Amino acid sequence: MEIGKDFMVLNHKDFTFRVKLCIELLFNKENIEPIQNFPIEVSTRMTRTHGYFQYSRNKKQKTYKALKLNFSHKLLNGSFKNDYVNEIILHEVLHYLVFNLGYYEEKHGYIFQKYCKKYGCRLTTGSSSEEYSNKEGNEEQTKKVACEPSKYTINCSCGFKANRTRTSKIIQNIKNYRCPTCKGSLSVTQNF
């Protein structure tokens, strides 16, 4: 059921079909066989993120196992533009793809960034969710759905930037961390 030009309410079946189609297309382009019936879950408990790829690691045996793709139910209720929903799906499927290429703990590292660039996906999607939210809809609902603005920006002289919402270890002890791009020193600016 459409609720606007770019906004659409999706049922669980249509949403999982979109995710499976994305997996199939990307894995075929990379000549990789995806796991059959890979679990795709829609969670009502996800409030701070719109999606994530989950895997497990056995430290003793040094083995890794892909577990599932998780998405927030907020992506299905028509609060975000289809472009944003598709970008979240692509971002998480790219995590799954990079994992299947053997880069098990890549997160947002070089290889992941390379595939984001190749398939036209922004590295982080959360900070831009506000521009994709349904402003014409229920204001109360829009406030709950939009991501929190970034409290901190991590910067490097090479141009690297990363936004953080929470006060994490890297924010508290920035001098102990190096830039992932040039290995230079990092600085933190607080956004208000």
Whether residue 48 lies inside any domain: the answer is yes
Question: Residues 11, 55: one domain?
Answer: yes
Claim to verify: residue 118 and residue 157 sit in the same structural domain: no
Residues 6 or more apart whose CB falls under 8 angstroms from that of 85 comprise 10, 18, 75
Other beta carbons within 10 Å of 183: 9
Task: Verify that 118 and 180 share a domain, yes or no.
Answer: no
Question: Facing residues of 188 across strands?
Answer: 154
Do 72 and 167 belong to one domain? no
Tell me: pLDDT of 145 over 60.
no
Q: Which of 124, 144, 164 is the last residue of a domain?
A: 144
Look at residue 34 in the predicted model and tell me its pLDDT.
82
Can you give the residue range of the structural domain that contains 52?
7-144
Q: What is the mean pLDDT of residues 82-95?
A: 90
Mark whether 122 and 105 lie in a shared domain.
Answer: yes
Return the higher-pLDDT residue of 71 and 164. Answer: 71
What pLDDT is stored for residue 141 in this prediction?
Answer: 42
- State how many domains the chain has: 2
CATH number of the domain enclosing 28: 3.30.2010
Does the pLDDT at position 176 exceed 50? yes
**What percentage of the chain reaches a pLDDT higher than 90?**
22
Beta pairing partners, 66: 55
Q: Is 180's pLDDT higher than 60?
A: yes
Mean pLDDT for the chain? 81
Query: What single-letter amino acid sits at 100?
Result: N
Q: How does pLDDT run across 12-34, given as a tens digit for each residue? A: 888 989 999 999 999 999 998 88
Instruction: Tell me, yes or no, whether 114 and 68 share the same domain.
Output: yes
Residues 91 and 182 in one domain: no
Query: How far apart are alpha carbons 89 and 14 in whole angstroms?
Result: 13
Q: Which residue has the higher pLDDT, 97 or 3?
A: 97
For residue 37, with 0-12 CB atoms within 10 Å meaning exposed, 13-18 middle and 19 or more buried, which class applies?
Answer: exposed
Same domain, 56 and 19: yes
137 lies in the same domain as 173: no
Assess whether 139 and 170 both reside in one domain. Answer: no
Residue 140 has a pLDDT of: 39
* Confidence category of residue 138, pLDDT binned at 50, 70, 90: very low
Mean pLDDT of all residues in 61-77: 88
